[in-house]
Structure 1
Amino acid sequence: MSRYFLGIDAGNSKTVALLADETGEILGRGRGGVGDIYGTATEELAVDAVVAAAEAALADAGVSAERVSAAALRLAGVDWAEDERYWEDAAARRLPGLRQVSIRNDGFALLRCGTVSGVGVAVTAGTGPAVAARGHDGQEYCASWWIQHALGGLGLGEAAFRAVVDAEIGLRPPTLLRAELLTLYGHHDVADLLYAFTRRGSARSGRDYAAAARSVLRAASASDAVALEMVRSASSTFAGLARVAAERTGLVSRAHPATEPVPVVLGGSLLTSELPAYREALVKDLRRELGAVRVAATAASPVAGALLDALAEGGVELDQERHDRVLTTSHPADFLLT
C-alpha cells in the first residue's frame, strides 16, 4: 500500500502544498493565500490559507488526510515557541486527519533543496531575508527576528530609493540607480518619483520598493560604487548571521575549526539571479566567516524542500534519486506564481 507525504510552504504572497508518494512522485498540488500569522488581519486567516492549500493538494491527488504518513509545514511567522504551539493547535483543529505534523519556520525549507541530509546553513534573500541551520546531531537554529537588518529585496530597494533622493540634493554621489529607478517606476525626474511615493493618498506601498532590488544588482554589476556598497554591506551582515547559525548548531566552533566544508544553500530571487553581484559578494564573505564552505545556489521552490522534509521525517530513506525527482519535477506555470 502506498504511503503519502505532504509538504507546505507558506509566506506573505502565497501558500503552496505538494503531496507525493514514497518515491517522490508528485501526485497533488494546492495553493492558498497569505499563510503568515504576522501578515494577516487575524491569525485564523493565515490558517485558512494553509488549510486551503493542504486540502487542495489532497483533493488533487484523491488522497484523504488520514492516509498521509507525515506532513512538514514550513511557515513564515513561526518565530517564537508560542507561534509553533499556535500552529500545532491549529493543525490539530483544522487538519485532524494528519497523524504526524512538523512545524518549522519557512527558512528551514531551503536546506534540503541543497543537501540530501538537510544538514547545513540556508540563506534566503527574496523580498525578505531568512537564515536557518541544522547540525549533524539534528540541532536547529533559525535567526528569525534576530535579523534586524533589511537584507532582502525590500531593504535593497529602500536603500536604492534613499540613495537616489540623497544624490539629487547633493548629499551623496551620483549613481546609475537614478536612471534605473526613473525607468522602473516611470517618472521623468526624481522630484516626481519622490512625490509619487510620499504624497497623501499615494497608491504606492512599502512593498513597491522591493521592485528596485534588481536595479541595485544591475548597477552593482556595472561597478556603480553606490550600489556595490549596498550589496557589500548586506552581504557582510548576512555572512555574519550565517556564522552565528553555524555556531549555534555545532557546524563550526571558534575553538575547533570545522574539519570539512560547511554546506551552505543559497536561495531566493536575489541570490539565484543571473545578475551575480550579491551572490558573489556573499560567497566571499561566507568564506571569511566560516572558512571552507560548499555553496549551492538553488532556484528550487522551498515547497520542494518542505516535501523532502516530510519524506525524511516519515521514515523514507532519502537517496539522490528521490531527492532529484522532487527537485526537478516541473509544475504548472501558475502554481508557483507570486
Structure 2
Amino acid sequence: MRRKMWMKFLGVDAGGTKTRLAVCNEKGKILAVGTGGPGNHYDVGMEGFKESLLKAMKDAGVEDWHFESAFLGVAGGGFSERSAGKIHEFLRNFLKADEISVINDCVVALRGALGMRKKGVIIVAGTGSMVIGVDEEGKIHRVGGWGHLLGDPGSAYDISLDALKMVMKYWEGRERWTPLVEEFKRQMGLGDFSDVLRYFYSEKHPKSHLASFAKMVMKHAEEGDEISREIVLKNVKELVEGVEPVCRKVNSDFVSYSGGVFKSEHFRKLVEEELKKQGYELSKPELPPVGGALMLAISKLKVVNEKILENLKMDLMNVD
C-alpha cells in the first residue's frame, strides 16, 4: 500500500524581534516549528530578513521542503501592494512553494486571535504596536502601527525609549531617581550617560535591541518603582485609545491581544482595566500569530473548518 503524501502548508510570523515558523498538513496537524531572528526588513534589510527566515527553516528542519502554500506575515510590510510585491518577488528566489502570500504580521496575528470569527479587533504590543480589526466584508481597519519614528505607543520600543528619556532627565537633574538609572548603565555598558550619544548615534543597533529593555521596565513596574509604573500606564492609556474607533468601524466588541509585551501580567491587567472603562473585555487569542498564518495558508486551497482550528490549537498550545 502506498503511503499517503500530505500537503504541506507554511506559516510565518516575521516580527520585529524574532521570526516564528510552523508547518502543518491539510488537517491542521503541526509537522514542524522553528525560530529565527528579527524579520522586519526595514530594520535588518532584505538579506537580514532572508537570514532570519532560513534560520527558522533550518531550526524546524524544513529547509529542503516544498510547500503547496506559504503565507508570511512580515513586520514593516504587506499593507500596500508595492510592499507585499517587493517581498513576494524576493521570496520567489529561494522559497520552494507553489503559492506564496505576503501580508503585514499584525494581520496574521489578527486572524490567529479571531479563529473562526469573521470580525473583531486585536491590540498588538510587540516591538511595535497597533490596534487592528477586520469587518464582516474582510476589510482591515487600524489605528497606529506607524513605526518608531512616528510613534508606537504601548510597544516595547516606546516603553524602553520613554524609560531612557526619564533616566536622562534624572542625569540632568530634572527627574526623580529610579532603579532604571543603574539598570540602563549596566545593560548598555555605559561609563556614564554622556556615552549615550555614542551608543545611539555612532553605533548601529536594531530597534529590537532598545525594545529588549522593556522587560526591565516591566520588572521594576511590577516591583513598585513609581517612574516605571508611570511609563507603563502612559503607554497603555495611549494604546487603548485606539480600540473604540476600530471596534466601531468593524462593528464588533470582540477584543483580543498579541505581542510579547502582553507576557507581562502587569501590562495585561492595566490594558484590561482601561478597556473596562470603555465597556470592553480582553479575550484570550484562539491561536498565536503563526497559527493565523497557517489558517491563511490553508485557506488558499481549502476551507478552514472547526476541526482544523482545533488541531492547530492543540499542537500550537505552547507556541507564542
Place the TM-score, normalised by the shorter chain, in its bin: 0.7 to 0.9
Pairing 1:325–2:318 present: no
Q: Give, in angstroms, the shift of residue 241 of structure 1.
A: 2.2
Structural mapping, 1:58-207, within 5 Å: 60=62, 63-65=65-67, 68=68, 70-78=69-77, 79-91=79-91, 95=95, 97-99=97-99, 101-117=100-116, 119-143=119-143, 145-146=145-146, 148-151=150-153, 152-182=155-185, 184-185=187-188, 192-199=191-198, 205=205, 207=207
Separation in 1, partners of 2:57, 2:101: 17
- Residue 255 of structure 1: aligned partner: none
Q: Contact 2:126–2:261 at 8 Å: present in 1 too?
A: yes
Q: Judging changes above 3 Å, is the alpha-carbon distance between structure 1 residues 126 and 193 closer, same or farther for their aligned structure 2 residues?
A: farther
Match of 1:311 among 289, 295, 298: 298
Q: Contact 2:144–2:242 at 8 Å: present in 1 too?
A: no
Q: Judging changes above 3 Å, is the alpha-carbon distance between structure 1 residues 126 and 144 closer, same or farther for their aligned structure 2 residues?
A: same
- Residue 258 of structure 1: aligned partner: none
Separation in 2, partners of 1:112, 1:49: 26
Pairing 1:271–2:274 present: no
Q: Give, in angstroms, the shift of residue 239 of structure 1.
A: 0.9
Corresponding residue pairs, total: 307
Separation in 2, partners of 1:223, 1:126: 23
Separation in 1, partners of 2:187, 2:55: 33
- CA RMSD for the aligned pairs? 3.5
- Residue 288 of structure 1: aligned partner: 277
Unaligned runs of 5+ residues in structure 2 are none
Report percent identity of matched pairs: 22
Q: Any idea what SS the aligned residue of 1:60 has?
A: coil
Q: Judging changes above 3 Å, is the alpha-carbon distance between structure 1 residues 287 and 301 closer, same or farther for their aligned structure 2 residues?
A: same
TM-score normalised by L of structure 1: 0.75
Q: Give, in angstroms, the shift of residue 169 of structure 1.
A: 3.0
Q: Judging changes above 3 Å, is the alpha-carbon distance between structure 1 residues 162 and 24 closer, same or farther for their aligned structure 2 residues?
A: same
Q: Judging changes above 3 Å, is the alpha-carbon distance between structure 1 residues 163 and 244 closer, same or farther for their aligned structure 2 residues?
A: same
Unaligned runs of 5+ residues in structure 1 are 252-261, 331-335
Separation in 2, partners of 1:173, 1:206: 29
- Residue 257 of structure 1: aligned partner: none
Q: Deviations over 1:190-248 (max 9, x none)?
A: xx341332237965746443333123222322343322221122111211223333233
Pairing 1:233–2:237 present: no
TM-score normalised by L of structure 2: 0.78
Q: Judging changes above 3 Å, is the alpha-carbon distance between structure 1 residues 321 and 88 closer, same or farther for their aligned structure 2 residues?
A: same
